[in-house]
Amino acid sequence: MFRYRLDVAWEYLFKLLPYLSVTLFYMGGALTIGIVFGAFMAMMKLGKNRPLKYFAIGYTAVMRSLPPIILIFLVYHGVPLAVRRMFQVNLSGMNTVYFVILALGLSSVATLSEIMKSAYLSVSGGQYEAAVSNGFTPFQAFRRIMFPQALRVSIPNLSSALIILMKEGSLGYTIGLIDIMGRADLLNSTSYGNDIYEIFFTLAAIYWLASILIDGGCHFIENRLSLERKIELNEIKKAGMIAAAEQGGIVRGS
């Protein structure tokens, strides 16, 4: 009869958890690449320069259609080869996590550029016109009017993108990355498959919790930035001012 050994699962939890840092590291790395270059790519898509625009659209189409595992393989095997040919530099000793970051980063650029583009377009273009007509420079109009509103709109999508990034990175174990997934695979083989359920349910629970945290965190930020909250704070401030004024009146009157 199948018996799930909670105590064993519990032990594995602590064997896996330290490697969550690797998972978080590649997520952070890929997200950074995605945000920086994705912003440029979103600008290309929104801009008037035809060649740049078509390049960005083409890049997105190709990257979105690629299964992440192919990308990881291509980067892992292709990049060292290309670097050796071109610069006579040997990359064989490099930590695999950087290959995973590059592979995920390349596809994040596509995803995030789409998120940024649609978030920008969701803010009515009239506000930009009103801003430049009021003497804002295009950058000021972006920085003060368009960006804060677009950021708020983009957060739910960013949250999903981040969770997808976390899951896709688990494929890094195929090129020998020791993140929580790689570690779980390793533990599974050293226990000869005897603890397979204990290990992988625990692993699943970690992913599950992590995505709940990501989602919750994003919700928190979204609420922080929301107009409703600004309005609410405003109301509280006003109520406070009225109360203070009334109190002042009473003191003076008495």
Partner 1 sequence: MLELTGVCKFFGKNEILKGVNLKVDSGDVVVILGPSGSGKTTLLRCINFLEIADKGTMVFGDKTIQLRRAKKSEVAFVRKKTSFVFQNYNLFNNKTALENVTEGLIYGRKIPAKEARDIGVKALEKVGMLDRSDFYPSQLSGGQQQRVGIARAIAGNPDVILFDEPTSALDPELIGEVLGIMKKLAAKEGTTMIVVTHEMSFAQSVATKVIFMDSGVILEEGEPREFFVHPRHERTKQFLRSILYETEYNI
Site residues, partner 1 (CB under 8 A): 123-124, 126-127, 129-136, 140, 144-145, 148-149, 227, 230-231, 234, 237-238
Q: Which is nearer to partner 1, 144 or 219 (CB)?
A: 144
Distance (Å) of CA 241 to CA 196, 233, 236, 237, 254: 63, 12, 9, 6, 20
In the complex, the smallest distance separating the C-beta of residue 245 from partner 1, rounded to whole angstroms, is 15
Q: What is the C-alpha to C-alpha distance for residues 122 and 154, in angstroms, rounded to an integer?
A: 9
Q: Which is nearer to partner 1, 194 or 226 (CB)?
A: 226
In the complex, the smallest distance separating the C-beta of residue 129 from partner 1, rounded to whole angstroms, is 5
**Helix (H) or strand (E) segment spanning residue 48:** none
In the complex, the smallest distance separating the C-beta of residue 139 from partner 1, rounded to whole angstroms, is 10
Q: What is the C-alpha to C-alpha distance for residues 31 and 36, in angstroms, rounded to an integer?
A: 8
Q: Which is nearer to partner 1, 219 or 237 (CB)?
A: 237
Q: Which is nearer to partner 1, 90 or 223 (CB)?
A: 223
In the complex, the smallest distance separating the C-beta of residue 237 from partner 1, rounded to whole angstroms, is 8
174, two tokens: 């195929």
Q: Which phi and psi angles does 182 have, rounded to 5°?
A: -60, -40
Q: Which is nearer to partner 1, 149 or 160 (CB)?
A: 149
Q: Which is nearer to partner 1, 82 or 239 (CB)?
A: 239
Residue 176 carries which DSSP code?
Answer: T
* 168: nearest Cα among 62, 64, 36: 64
In the complex, the smallest distance separating the C-beta of residue 234 from partner 1, rounded to whole angstroms, is 5
Q: Which phi and psi angles does 117 have, rounded to 5°?
A: -60, -50
CB of 60 closer than 8 Å to CB of 107: no
In the complex, the smallest distance separating the C-beta of residue 233 from partner 1, rounded to whole angstroms, is 10
